Amino acid sequence: MAHSRLSYSRRAIDQAGKLLTEVQEEDERWEDGISKLNNWRSFHGFPLNTITVDLKQKVNRIDPDGHVVRRLKRSRSIIAKLAKESSMRLTQMQDVGGCRAVLSSIDAVYDVKNLYLKANAQHELVGIDDYIRHPKVSGYRSLHLIYRFRSRGYPEYDKLLLEIQLRTATQHAWATAVETVAAMSGQALKSSEGAADWLEYFQFASLALEHNEHPVFSTITPHSLGGIARKLAALGSRLQVEKKLTAYRQALKATEQVDTKKAAYFLLVLLPEQPVLQIFPFTRKQSDLALKEYERYERLIPIDRGQLPLFPELENYAGAQAVLVGAESFKSIRDSYPNYYLDTEAFVNQVAQFVRRYKRAF
């Protein structure tokens, strides 16, 4: 991605971030605030590319079949996070730019992590959040590495914070199902099917999927395998989870461009009311155009401040959404962002297998 210049002071960026949590889109100050936010976000493009190249090299050493993608955080997610964490400044946010590796096993996740810890890194490791050994209350599992960027050749990017996520394909299947339900919740879930039931369902599903991976550690206790299976069966039946997730997948109409061979960036626009997914590829030389189109589509999608997020510990995926993703191939987009295809087949199959195996166990 091209070297974007920062057009404002960091103080001005922080003031814009605070403003966007306080005013509505109709306010005359909104457009100026969004312009500053977009400039700060695009400023992360070059260092994010650098970090992603290094991640890809490490993943190839450990798990050549692993998938690596990068993305600049959606503006609505940035604003939602600033609103939730009122003491946070926009320039302190660690995941405006982030890259992710989806790996074949928990061992592979920790092997890649160890490569980072052993490396004589140019960038400064400032934090590790291990949500695999210590999952979030929602059941979210992933390992996050937070780096402060350093560059002798491009010192203007020094001190930018970037996040690296490492997760297994099974953990990714769970997150995909969560994001799919959240994206569709405003249109497809009735008020009688309350958020509490869905939260509980995914908490128990996370335990089941963890067991399927046979980790050397476990967070299942004090639950029994039979208790987890029976709870999943009961909640799954009440919420019609399998039926809904299968219907979402079958109903989606994806508009895929034919010529994606030279694409380095993909703009994904999901309209869950239809549901329709539009995909726009861009070459590496079109990175500036890709950013402009990303910003244009974000402006077309209103921020719904009145809707409470179904999964408050995750990003706000509810409703229509757009995301700009950098990847080596179109296949890696499908593998790494199946939630935009509402593709939850792997999740449904793994949960069903667990329930069949342990439903009658103690």
The pLDDT assigned to 247 comes to 85
Most confident of 139-153, 251-265, 324-338: 139-153
Same domain for 228 and 155: no
pLDDT at residue 2 is higher than 70: no
Same domain for 191 and 326: yes
- Provide the domain limits for residue 266: 173-358
Distance CA 76, CA 13 (A): 16
Please identify, among 168, 200, 224, the residue that sits at the C-terminal boundary of a domain.
168
Using one digit for the tens of pLDDT, what is the confidence trace for 16-25? 999 999 998 8
The pLDDT assigned to 161 comes to 97
CA 291 to each of CA 235, 282, 283, 284, 297: distance values in angstroms, whole numbers, following the listed order: 42, 10, 12, 12, 10
- Number of neighbours of residue 292 by Cβ within 10 angstroms: 13
Q: What is the CATH number of the domain that holds 74?
A: 3.30.460.10
3-state secondary structure the chain: CCCCCCCCCHHHHHHHHHHHCCCCCCCCCHHHHHHHHHHHHHCCHHHHHHHHHHHHHHHHHHCCCCEEEEEECCHHHHHHHHHHCCCCCHHHCCCCEEEEEEECCHHHHHHHHHHHHHCCCCCEEEEEEECCCCCCCCCCCCEEEEEECCCCCCHHHCCCEEEEEEEEHHHHHHHHHHHHHHHHHHHHCCCCCCHHHHHHHHHHHHHHHHHHCCCCCCCCCCCCHHHHHHHHHHHHHHHCHHHHHHHHHHHCEEECCCCCCCEEEEEEEEECCCCEEEEEEEEHHHHHHHHHHHHHHHHHCCCCCCCCCCCCCCCCCCCCEEEEEECCCHHHHHHHCHHHHCCCHHHHHHHHHHHHHHCCCC
The pLDDT assigned to 32 comes to 96
CA contacts within 13 A on the Cβ side of 322: 22
Same domain for 284 and 260: yes
**Between 55 and 284, the higher pLDDT residue:** 55
Contact 147, 162 (CB under 8 A): yes
pLDDT at residue 312 is higher than 60: no
pLDDT at residue 317 is higher than 70: no
When the pLDDT of each residue in the chain is averaged and rounded to a whole number, the result is: 87
Same domain for 140 and 40: yes
Tell me, yes or no, whether 4 lies in a domain. Answer: no
The pLDDT assigned to 362 comes to 76
Distance CA 229, CA 272 (A): 30
Same domain for 200 and 137: no
269 forms beta bridges with: 278, 322
The pLDDT assigned to 150 comes to 94
Tell me, yes or no, whether 5 lies in a domain. Answer: no
60 forms beta bridges with: none
Distance CA 325, CA 341 (A): 14
Task: Average the pLDDT over 287-291 and give the result.
Answer: 92
Most confident of 134-138, 147-151, 305-309: 147-151
Number of structural domains found in the chain: 2
Tell me, yes or no, whether 2 lies in a domain. Answer: no
Same domain for 180 and 154: no
Largest CA distance in the chain: 63
pTM for the model: 0.87
Same domain for 214 and 135: no
Distance CA 109, CA 131 (A): 12
The pLDDT assigned to 308 comes to 38
Same domain for 163 and 24: yes
Range in 34-38, 123-127, 179-183 the model is least confident about: 179-183
Task: Average the pLDDT over 238-266 and give the result.
Answer: 81
**Percent of the chain whose predicted confidence (pLDDT) is above 90:** 57
The pLDDT assigned to 10 comes to 96
Tokens 């971030």 correspond to 17
Using one digit for the tens of pLDDT, what is the confidence trace for 67-115? 999 999 989 889 988 998 889 999 999 999 999 999 999 999 999 999 9
Tokens of 280: 């726009």
Same domain for 122 and 216: no
The pLDDT assigned to 259 comes to 65
Same domain for 133 and 281: no
Same domain for 237 and 344: yes
Q: Which residues contact 322 (CB under 8 A, 6 or more apart)?
A: 74, 267, 268, 269, 270, 294, 297, 298, 301
Same domain for 263 and 123: no
Please identify, among 123, 144, 168, the residue that sits at the C-terminal boundary of a domain.
168
